[in-house]
Amino acid sequence: MQYQSKAAIRPLVAALVFAFASAGAVQAQDAKPADPAVANQLDPNAPEKDAKLIDKYQAVKVEDGKYFDKDGAPTYHITNDGKKFDWYAYSGYRRYHAECHVCHGPDAMGSTYAPALKDSLKRLSYEEFVGIIAGGKQDISSSGTNVMPAFGDNKNVMCYADDLYTYLKARASGAMPRVRPTDKEDKPEAAKKAEKECLGG
């Protein structure tokens, strides 16, 4: 760079400034997502929405009916004023209420025995979440005997880890209030294939 004259550098600087300016413009648009394929249309009257988490968990891309946030983790897609759910969030709701709610309470609200996962999912990453459900967890520092069982061998849980994670994220951000989902996107071919391989293998 030393040998370059100031005049040669100036267009480069201008280009960089321009790039930052347009990146800012894209971010500003994020508040009301431009891409209709992944934008959420939440229930405007839903209580307890966490604007920061809703932004963090907003889908930025979709692949065969599965949505991903900017960290590359599976996330939810909710439309029709909060009434229509992507397949994975819907499936996660059902799996949660089959396998987890006895301890963690309906709608991930928590119980005297186990923590409210709607709060846990405000901080747990995808990897941490999957690690806990596979390996279990016990708070050895407390005198209590409350144990999170390891589900690593349970296909009814592990084959649906993404579904559970997606549903619980929607609960954590408040994008999904305490509702029983009825309307949903069609089950993607990729989900049918992955389920067959996971359950059968």
Which residues of this protein are in contact with ligand HEC, per CB under 6 A?
99-100, 102-104, 113-115, 117, 120, 124, 129, 132-133, 137-139, 146-149, 151, 157, 164
Q: Which is nearer to ligand HEC, 79 or 146 (CB)?
A: 146
Residue found under tokens 């059902």: 94
CB of 198 to ligand HEC, least distance (A): 15
Whichever of 71 and 183 has its CB closer to ligand HEC, that residue is 71
Cβ-proximal residues to 92 (8 Å cutoff; 6+ apart), any chain = 160, 162, 163, 164, 165, 166, 167, 168
Nearer to ligand HEC, 19 or 147 (CB): 147
**84 — phi, psi (to 5°)?**
-115, 130
Residue 192, CA distances (Å) to 38, 62, 72, 130 in order: 21, 17, 21, 21
Structure tokens at 90: 């819907």
Burial class (CB within 10 angstroms; exposed 0-12, middle 13-18, buried 19+) of 117: buried
From the CB of 132, what's the least distance to ligand HEC, in Å? Answer: 4
What is the closest distance, in whole angstroms, from the C-beta atom of residue 53 to ligand HEC in the complex?
15
Least Å distance between CB 21 and ligand HEC? 40
- Our CB check for ligand HEC shows the closer of 41 and 111 to be 111
